[in-house]
């Protein structure tokens, strides 16, 4: 079973709108946080 999880903003610790699946491998992508209202380059390691 594949679990979807939301990425948590590393700045404010709130959930972003970006959802990832466990079988998705993301190394670097642009994270947008609606609470911080800014985009950040962000490293996520699966
Ligand atoms: Zn944030």
Question: What is the CB neighbour count within 10 angstroms for residue 9?
Answer: 20
Q: Determine whether 28 is exposed, middle or buried from the number of CB atoms within 10 Å of its CB (0-12, 13-18, 19+).
A: exposed
Q: Determine whether 31 is exposed, middle or buried from the number of CB atoms within 10 Å of its CB (0-12, 13-18, 19+).
A: buried
Q: What is the pLDDT of residue 16?
A: 83
Alpha carbon of 38 to ligand 1 centroid (Å): 8
Q: What is the pLDDT of residue 41?
A: 66
Alpha carbon of 17 to ligand 1 centroid (Å): 11
| Spacing of C-alpha 40 from chain mean position | 10
Checking if the pLDDT of 45 tops 80, the result is no
Tell me the domain boundaries of the chain. Answer: 4-43
Closest CA to 5 of 17, 19, 26: 19
Percentage of the chain lying above the pLDDT 70 cut: 67
Alpha carbon of 9 to ligand 1 centroid (Å): 5
Alpha carbon of 11 to ligand 1 centroid (Å): 5
Do residues 38 and 12 make contact, with C-beta atoms less than 8 angstroms apart? Answer: no
pLDDT tens digit sequence for 9-24: 888 888 888 787 777 6
- Stretch 31-45: mean pLDDT: 73
């Amino acid at each position: 079973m594949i679990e979807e999880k939301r990425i948590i903003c590393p700045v404010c610790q709130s959930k972003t709108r970006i959802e990832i699946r466990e079988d998705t491998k993301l190394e670097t992508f642009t994270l947008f946080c609606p609470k911080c209202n800014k985009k950040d380059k962000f490293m996520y390691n699966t």
